[in-house]
Structure 1
């Protein structure tokens, strides 16, 4: 399933300059705003060998680890462990830098940082987005670009806010299903939680922990030849991220316009498994396990406390064009 929706998101009085993002990996600047994951520490906690075995009742079997949709540190360590093993003997090609996010329950250090759910970082006196029938939209996510300016075009604001009309807005997106806003990181009178409408459906409330990461487009055939399942998730990850490269589930969208819109960020499905799943140690940065009861809490179809399916494990891709407009494209399996 694929859908596309163009949304004009120009900020009044903003001066927008079209600046292409960095194409290939280089020395990245220090992360100054988001909490940052120390990947080396996590790879010691969840080494490659963690993903080589699986329990079948009383029997332990060996397996070749596969690519994963990345929601958790566990998923990330599996993908990175495979990449490092392969990279020891093979060339993966030129890396493309991205800023990938895994999640934690602790609130963000600042209200403008990347997160799911909760209170959007927007001015208190700004009208809340509503449908033509007057029904308030539900806030779903926000992206903060302050730590990613070296890999993105110049944006009209520091923070991108995403609102859904209803719980099915990702399905067959039509005009009005999704509302996008830009906001500044510095607000004189930010919105307070008690002053926002009650969400129409349960949205996970998690804050993003940033990972300086790289993608290797075109390397999928190599991973496949070496026996790794889901190799398409190893060359370019499916994850919530900022940057110009990702795994497009149904293929990269095409445009006739020049210059072509550039991928700015990706919102990926969140589906955390419970503690009895052998592949689910560390579903969150600050939680080593979740109980089955926690996973099922507040679940209504595609949404829950730890669930954001975006149709069938889908993604939303946010492209920015040369006029500073955001074009939203959604797909799923």
Structure 2
């Protein structure tokens, strides 16, 4: 009986954990931990010989207050989450004797206003953002001048496969915003938006377009103070400085009909505010876990080609669905999408982008 117990797993919260753990796909090169299994449990092993307490803070799937690790005789602390994690990417950190650190076994991603450890829980639908043997686009860093902030600012630009060879072709542009606590690296690092684009283009499911990702100036306020955020500074940077730079330096279709804006979470709030303030600039709007539009918000219906609203099923899906119903009744081309089994996290936004991209620039 003991042999069977060890081979098949051990019990945790009433469920037998299957012992098929493998290193997370976003571990540091050569590192065995953290590990994940087919059920979505995460397991950690951290060397801290002199520590008195080691706790992993991993959001959903961990015990309240985090997953406490147990110290072994060799100075390694080990432990497994008390529940299965949602599919997809998650930030986490390690608290050692009250100090906050990153897991040396995991790669770091910018979130929560700091570089945090990341872990990837295998998803049943992960094929759409997998690295495949298909033609790949290019993600490049640019520095653009900003008179309003008296500095050079950074953005990342995705150009689709073949962009450098098709010298006469011009492309629509999506301006894609991150959430609070993140920056312009989020959509390509955590969101894998470039791989989603490459795969969709290879499958013939979308019209190729350029994506521009820049810092939304969101992290100067503390969590909980979103209501005090002023859009003016970022709106000036985006509309008056970044867009003209992109249109000058990339082969864009530099007009209202071929320009879209989308954002996740607080980036959705920015998207809503700027698209309403500048209806002559963008024709396609998308809010990913970032609020909704009402028909009365939009003064000129003819300026809007698409409104896309999405969220996870663990968020407030009824609000998204009801908002889209109201927009459709008012004559807007509106689409809703709900990611099943996910909350306010990147798997929701990866799936949302996959649904959004084929709807952009269709005409």
TM-score w.r.t. the length of structure 2 is 0.21
Relative contact order higher in (CA < 8 Å, ≥ 6 apart): 1
| Structure having the larger proportion of residues in strand | 2
TM-score w.r.t. the length of structure 1 is 0.23
